[in-house]
Homo-oligomer: A and B are copies of this chain.
């Protein structure tokens, strides 16, 4: 099966870390995509195979050998975990599943704010809203603060909640190093230092997406 990727996206990183942690590297072909910076406000030119994989035209997008098309990191991770991973990263049911999905849902809001802020920063100055950038920054801060207590509950193993949070922490360091999220979230910072050492994390450190 095929996963369309970029090396900068935290959404993609959630999926690729999950793939590595589930040992699925040999079953899923990663297909890099290019994005001119005009993506922030314009429909860019797409490879037909990419557009066939996802009418949303955002990465990540997964196409299975049976032609199933999944176009959302949450659904993709859910699928990999359930169908190919024996529920190793997220239980199929029960309290632990919902506790993890609570963390994941907050983290998705955080990552969406990080990406929206990035898109705003890529706009022409004449169309840029500093208010909007500040709104996103405040949302990110609230989410990092809310996630801090969760870090204490994280086990020594790996799961989809930790993978999602790690993707958000890594993206904050990549794009917004001046934010200092560690001050709002010292427990999360200590956990992230350890979690970052996993080979799956070291193999997916964000770099700029080719234009």
**A residues lining the B interface (CB < 8 Å):** 40-43, 51, 54-58, 68-72, 74-75, 78-79, 82-83, 92-93, 98-99, 101-102, 104-106, 108-110, 113, 123, 126-129, 131-132, 134-135, 138-139, 142-143, 145-146
Which chain B residue shows the least CB distance to A133? B41
Bound state CA distance, A182 and B146, in angstroms?
42
Contact of B135 with A71 in the complex, beta carbons under 8 Å:
no
Residues of B within 8 A of A58 (CB): 109
Q: Secondary structure of the A side of the interface?
A: helix
Bound state CA distance, A135 and B43, in angstroms?
5
Contact of A102 with B69 in the complex, beta carbons under 8 Å:
yes
Known: A55-B146, A56-B139, A127-B128. Is A102-B70 also a contact (CB below 8 A)? Answer: yes
Selected contact of A106 from candidates B41, B56, B92, CB within 8 Å: B56
